[in-house]
Structure 1
Amino acid sequence: MKSKYNFVIKKNNQNFDMHELGIWVESFHIYSPHAERKKLIVPNRAGSLLSSTRIAERRVAITMQIEEENENNYETIKHDIFDLFFSEKEFSIVRDIKPDRELFVIQEGEYDIENLTTTDGKFSIDLTMPDPFIYGLQLEKVFENDSLVLTNPGTEKSKPIFESTVLQDTSFVQIVNENGDYMMVGKPAPADQPVISPYDEILVDDCSSTVAWGAVPSIESGDVAGSIGVSNGRFVPTSYGTGTGWHGPALKQSLSSPLQDFNIQTWVEFNTAANELGRIQIHLLDVDNNIVGMLSIFDSYSQFQDAVGRFRVGPLSGPYKYVMSERHPYWIPNFYGRLALQRQGTRISAQMDFYDSNTGRYKFNLADEFYDYQGQFQTPISQVQIHFGQYRSYAVATMNMDKVRVIRLNEIGENEIPILAYAGDNLVFDHQNDIVYLNGMDIKMEKDFGASYFNIMSGTNRIFTFPQGALDTKVKWRPAYK
């Protein structure tokens, strides 16, 4: 028989059912909301005036019993319980009696498991709800004709997530409620002022064919050997050949015209183990095959896992400068994400972003920049060269390339307004975490100064999107209850 107070703990992407663990839930009490009030005392006036109210942390009190068949199992489950209720961050509880509600808790202080017999025990534990509200299942509504009447069944306000697919190029996106609270990125343009494209795509290659790519006679700090093929829609090294140092296949492609101000982005996968080495390099060349810049990710250690992103302007023969050279423990051993190098005027910048396939967003951004005031690194780029490398005969990391994109950066005048998002782009306004994403990239720097991550209130909400006809939008939220 299962206790009517039974519950499930959700922690570290796992579910732990108390009944299945052999724990009997004797009681489960959620304390009332803890109202903290500030009051003003007015001279010569009876009583007080209410100044403000906030709901503080809330308590949950649970009593449980353990019944085991032998002392060894009893000792094991006691320590399993200690581990289960301790966490570095909040975990959630879903009660069998209310499976459509979820509360988030942490354990503070200590508690003891009383030994009733050598194989049975009983304990009480107090948990803290840092967020004092209980949440219902996620709800979703779709906007129709750029507007939405939304009924929030919760008794408290909720933090929404809006997601928009862009239907036509636009310089801004705004979401506004009936009270005038709004979220906006970009900037609207007057009717008599055309918006300007901030860039032109020069090369977009999805790495599904090597037809447009040509042979490379030599590479920097290594030998050309082996070949590049296509597997699962990505460039992969099909062989590395042999060599006494770095060696491997390389290909290059000419751009339709030389570029002064540019941004190159490439999406790569780099998976390495402690005994594996490897490198992916993307070189930017001028018309005479001289190196103008380089993007790379590599592992040059044979005894531990490594993943270093390195970005450079200029050839190793000089002059040259590293824009960024960084590693991140999260990317060891597996990395899939974006490498980017940009030059706009004297500003040269590099960026490395890990892509989280679970959320569809980029995170753990590493970026750096410098200003080329001396004009040492201003040669136009005319070609893109790619290379996969193996060191000697060491075991090689798993490597592939998913996409290469090169754009020309256009100059935007002081009074000109650039396009923010293009048809087909995806925008996410995450009011739960105060961030805005464009195609998975954080663009909260584009947020309008007066915009706010507004809430959905209890009851009826009227929400509108602008520009009209430019967005296909939906909203997700979890109703909150006391």
Structure 2
Amino acid sequence: MREFQVDITISGKTDTEMMETFRDIGVWLRWDEEQELIFDVEPTKTYFSYLTGSTDLQTVGTTGFATLRFLCPDPYSYGPLIESPVITSSPVEVKVEGKEKTYPVIVANFKENSTYFSMATKDQYIHIGNPEGLDQITIPPEEKLFDDEMISTSGWTSFTNVDQGSVQGAITPDDWSFVASDYGKGSEWHGPALQKMSTTSAKHFRLEAMVGFYSISQMEMGRIEFYLLDSNGNVVGKLALMDAWVGSESTKIEARAGTRDDGHYFANTAGSMSYKKKTTYVKKKVRGKTKTVAQTQTEEYGQYSDFYGKITIERIGPVWKAQLIRLSKLFGLEVATSRVEFRWVNPDIDQYNAPVSGVAIHFGQHSTYQVVPSMYCSQLTLKKINPITTIAIPEIIEKGDEVVIDCEVGSIYKNGTVWLSELNMGSQYLSLEGDSINNLAYQPANKCEMKIYHRGRYL
């Protein structure tokens, strides 16, 4: 842990202007998480800190003096991000900056299916999955029935069976996602819907949807829904994000086996609620003079509000699961920052067991309420899940998959989702020696290309 004290001087034309500037600085510096701290004397070094303690302002006329205390839980400073060239063969030498040991981020992009991935230094290794034996066969654990990038409605047809509403309006793809260009009109839920069918059915399946759901006002409502369909277009289940409350930004996830009339909801929640005081400054006339007046109101937010990421629903035998995975950027890559899972074991194996052949998507507005302005789906994938036998070893990585090993935070991601289930016991997250050339080896080198990212570390 490390602490820095920074003396500041604030000047204004009037004492009121000086105090307003001081408050603005306080708002700007108050964060719930660590932020970058860079000093002019070392512009290439970055600390990660947050403001701590009380900050008292001493004033002399229209000038104020204060001391800011920044606490760094991590005492090290870091240099700029360094990206290696594309690595296509093993072993490889990596030049590491800095004076201290550092922890890299390894990004592997696969050109072929694989049952494993491993990487090692001279005294550490990390291993995911298992190489196939001579007496074993390999099978993909999943097969894509379709994988739609949502840039064209080709292959999509009309769908009308939405919950508690009517189908109106239109879905118009933009350059990278499906969005609703028109919701129509109605007194209940209303909006456009389309369906897409596969020629193959899946008894065991997973639906994955990349979605965004962003509100800008507490007065907005909206929903984006995905209906699982059998070969005749009948509803087998549903997955949805919905804001159905006026006066609250409370996005909830719904996951259901069966139809609305006879189904079972195993996820139907907005998660935990938080309350934030929002202060706005407006100019008002007070006794004939214009003054800046603070107005404070309490706003309610659900755990899943302002969501971007992946939502999934799956069924394997009697077990239904849904996930809500929030994504953000790490070194320019999308990785999961949180994941919530809902699980239900159906006690009646003969109920809700129809094979799935297709998916419908629906965007909804409620009555004449303001609609959530940013609801979209940028990728939709329906997968068949294959059972694994004792003589088969699963191909846990598919062609086109991206595997990220973040040795600094100690996590592994596949296509942005946390992926620790295949990590072998004994594995260690790798460290690299600073100010030296590090030798690394990885396998299968003929099936993937890699990049290694690191930041030099200094005391």
TM-score, normalised relative to structure 1: 0.78
Equivalent residues in 2 for 1:281-360 (5 A)? 281-318=225-262, 320-327=263-270, 329=301, 334-356=306-328, 359-360=333-334
SS of corresponding position for 1:302: coil
> Counterpart of 1:371?
345
Distance 1:355 1:270 in 2: 12
The alignment partner of 1:138 has SS state of: strand
8 Å Cα contact 1:226-1:241 kept in structure 2: yes
2:370 alignment partner, one of 389, 395, 398: 395
Q: Pick closer, same or farther for the CA change 1:77–1:311 going to 2, 3 Å.
A: closer
Unaligned runs of 5+ in 1: 1-56
Cα 1:461–1:120 shift into 2, 3 Å: same
Cα deviation, 1:173-195, whole Å, max 9, x if unaligned, reads: 1110012x012222222244332
Deviation per CA, 1:317-370, whole angstroms, max 9, x where unpaired?
A: 21x211212225477754333221101112110112233356522333221111
- Aligned residue for 1:28? none
* Bigger mean CA offset, 304-313 vs 129-138: 129-138
Tell me the equivalent position of 2:116: 172
In structure 2, relative to structure 1, the CA distance for the partners of 1:126 and 1:335 (3 Å cut) is closer
TM-score by length of 2: 0.82
The question of whether the paired residues in 1 share the 8 Å contact of 2:251 and 2:302 is answered with no
Task: Say which SS state the counterpart of residue 44 (structure 2) adopts.
Answer: strand
Residues 250, 101 of structure 1: alpha-carbon distance in 2 compared, 3 angstrom cutoff: closer
Taking only the aligned residue pairs, the percentage that are identical comes to: 25
Larger relative contact order (Cα-Cα within 8 Å, sequence gap ≥ 6): 2
Instruction: Give the match for residue 52 of structure 1.
Output: none
Distance change in 2, residues 1:429/1:242 (3 Å): same
SS in 2 for 1:451: coil
3-state SS of paired residue (1:295):
strand
Shift of 1:114: 5.7
Among candidates 396, 404, 423, match of residue 399 of structure 2: 423
Q: CA–CA distance in 2 between the matches of 1:462 and 1:445?
A: 27
**For 1:92-140, what per-residue CA distance to the aligned partner results, in whole angstroms no more than 9, with x for missing partners?**
432222222223445555576666x545566666654432223222223
- Amino acid across the alignment from 2:225: Q
Q: Deviations over 1:417-442 (max 9, x none)?
A: 21121222211111111111111111
Paired with 1:404 and 1:68, the residues of 2 have a C-alpha distance of: 55
1:412 maps to a residue whose letter is I
SS of the aligned residue for 2:131 comes to coil
1:220 Cα shift?
A: 3.7
**2:106 equivalent to 1:162:** yes
Please name the residue that 2:426 is paired with.
450
Looking at structure 1, the residues matched to 370 and 53 of structure 2 have their Cα atoms a distance apart, in angstroms, of 49
Distance apart, 1:309 and its partner CA:
1.4
Residue in 2 aligned with 1:151?
95
CA distance in 2, matches of 1:270, 1:82: 30
Distance 2:407 2:457 in 1: 15
1:422-468: per-residue Cα shift (whole Å, max 9, x none)? 22221111111111111111102221111111211233321111112
Alignment match, 1:236: 179
Bigger shift: 449-458 or 85-94? 85-94
Counterpart contact for 2:252–2:269, Cα < 8 Å = yes
Q: Cα gap change, 1:406/1:120 in structure 2, threshold over 3 Å: closer, same or farther?
A: closer
Q: Does 1:277 align with 2:217?
A: no
Which residue pairs with 1:464 in the alignment? Answer: 441
RMSD: 3.0
CA distance in 2, matches of 1:82, 1:424: 46
SS state of the match for residue 421, structure 2? helix
1:55-70 pair list within 5 angstroms:
57-60=1-4
CA change 1:306–1:346 in 2 (3 A) is same
Which position in structure 2 is the counterpart of 1:262?
205
1:41 maps to which residue? none
More displaced 10-residue stretch of structure 1: 433-442 or 271-280: 271-280
Matched, 1:432 2:408: yes
Name structure 2 gaps, 5 residues minimum: 272-300
Alignment partner, residue 146 of structure 2: 203
Distance, in Å, in 2 between the alignment partners of 1:271 and 1:84 is 23
* Superimposed CA distance per residue, residues 146-176 of structure 1 (whole angstroms, 9 cap, x where no aligned partner): 2222233422111111111112211111110
Distance in 2, Cα, partners of 1:242 & 1:129: 54
Task: Give me the whole-angstrom Cα distance separating, in 2, the residues matched to 1:470 and 1:212.
Answer: 33
Greater radius of gyration (CA): 1
Q: 1:378 to 1:94 in 2, by over 3 A?
A: same
Q: For 2:222 and 2:22, locate their aligned partners in 1 and report how far apart those are by CA, in whole Å.
A: 47
Q: Which amino acid aligns with 1:336?
A: Y
Greater alpha carbon shift after TM alignment, 78-87 vs 296-305? 78-87
**8 A contact 2:249–2:302 mirrored in 1:** no
Q: How do residues 89-100 of structure 1 correspond to structure 2 at under 5 angstroms?
A: 89-100=33-44
Stretch moving more, 192-201 or 100-109 = 100-109
